[in-house]
Structure 1
């Protein structure tokens, strides 16, 4: 996933704008949508205890600039929102203007279900108090327009296994949540998609922008169990797409290999079909 550097849980829509007063004239108001999405990860479930979404409207370090959005606290399994699906967190009318920063407040009940079927609590060192902050670059709500912010959550980078954890050690959490989130604005609508064969290779897929107005940049995802993948929210440009298998081929079968596809063109408002990529 591209990082604008959790949600780096970025990345996974945007968090927050509720406290601003709505204009008396509905025709001059804006609408803000905040959505959350994710790439498939190596867990059965990744559940985030989201308590509050806020947005900052003033200059950096101004403590009076934070406004709370209308959001009902909920537990969200981010792995349910992959391959183009997204969770709508916020949709509300708001006064036009610039957004400087967003903040996600997490509660203490985030957890993962591992491949072993067991639940492991996630400790969030800063997300419960000061919150997870993401800076916004040129995010402006205009009159009579809907502005969508997408939080692209990178599971692989956001969930870190503790080095001192051992099976049977109940006193220490196995995983820490150090959110890495990419923030995607509405006007970035390019993308690419395809499938890998065999699906069992479960590759990580990197889209590395090599030319264009915003180059360089790297966005990543992971193919799902069927071999399908897609990456959205890409700026127009030329990309190099790399496939890195995360599993080994069964004994006696052709080994999985790393594949690099150069010179992939991504255009605004269009999704590029990379069809089937063979990894053996």
Structure 2
């Protein structure tokens, strides 16, 4: 669970108001799924400053509990959850505490409550590798929630059953360092196809996938990508009107992403 979500770490903006402190930002963004709305009941955010086994190492951040519709934060958008001065030093983990009121609105316009397995009531923990906050610098932790992988439909659920029993919430979050500032962007035609866009990079641990969706103008953008060669896949989420060519899935290969640069893709035709 922890190894799949995005947590992005960016340094370098200066904080001159307090020369002895660092500044910490926590943001949330989303990889889309097949729902109209996905609302997370976020109650608390904590970071761990000591070794994993030391229970007293958790520090609660200044976060206001709120319901967040994360489908509002795709295609490069993110929600600012926390921004506060922070003592310099290492952060070992971050923990997201979710309440019982998370839910989705399905394509059928019905509301389905999201059940959280009992093993996750203590929060979603994400380990951080060599994360150090330094004086007079700002660090950003971006929580990239993968909707398609995080919301699991029960195999034995049928229409007419209790709606509260249809979906389980098993948060999947990918961890990436923001100092890897590669990215890619482009447009699709026709824009009405509203495709999901996946960028897939092969690694020794298996495929590393980042996703977003094109907006109403056909534009899309993916950020915080490690350098490498990607396969970019496009999956239309709508069907073409009668009398027009059908929309099709498209795969583009050999897309090179370089650190600190945004790769521009030529327009991709989906019909």
TM-score by length of 1: 0.83
Q: Secondary structure at the match of 2:71?
A: helix
Q: Secondary structure at the match of 1:28?
A: coil
Q: Secondary structure at the match of 1:229?
A: strand
Q: Secondary structure at the match of 1:220?
A: strand
2:12 is aligned to none
Q: CA deviation at 1:115?
A: 1.7
2:36 is aligned to 44
**CA contact under 8 A between 2:32 and 2:211: conserved in structure 1?**
no
Range 214-223 or range 134-143, more displaced: 214-223
Q: CA deviation at 1:210?
A: 5.0
TM-score by length of 2: 0.86
State the Cα deviation string for residues 9-34 of structure 1 (Å, max 9, x = none): x22758xxxxxxxxxx9202100100
1:175 is aligned to 167
Range 198-207 or range 97-106, more displaced: 198-207
CA pair 171-157 structure 1, distance change in 2 beyond 3 A: closer
CA pair 245-186 structure 1, distance change in 2 beyond 3 A: same
Q: Mind listing any 5+ residue stretches in structure 1 that lack a counterpart?
A: 15-24
Q: Equivalents in 2 of 1:74, 1:137: separation in Å?
A: 28
1:269 is aligned to 260
Residue 99 (structure 1) aligned with residue 94 (structure 2): no
CA pair 40-228 structure 1, distance change in 2 beyond 3 A: farther
Q: Let me know the Cα RMSD of the aligned residues.
A: 2.7
1:77 is aligned to 69
What is the total number of aligned residue pairs between the two structures? 264
State the Cα deviation string for residues 38-90 of structure 1 (Å, max 9, x = none): 13332121110000001111112221221111111111110111111111111
CA pair 37-257 structure 1, distance change in 2 beyond 3 A: same
CA pair 107-71 structure 1, distance change in 2 beyond 3 A: same
Q: Secondary structure at the match of 2:136?
A: coil
Q: Mind listing any 5+ residue stretches in structure 2 that lack a counterpart?
A: 10-16
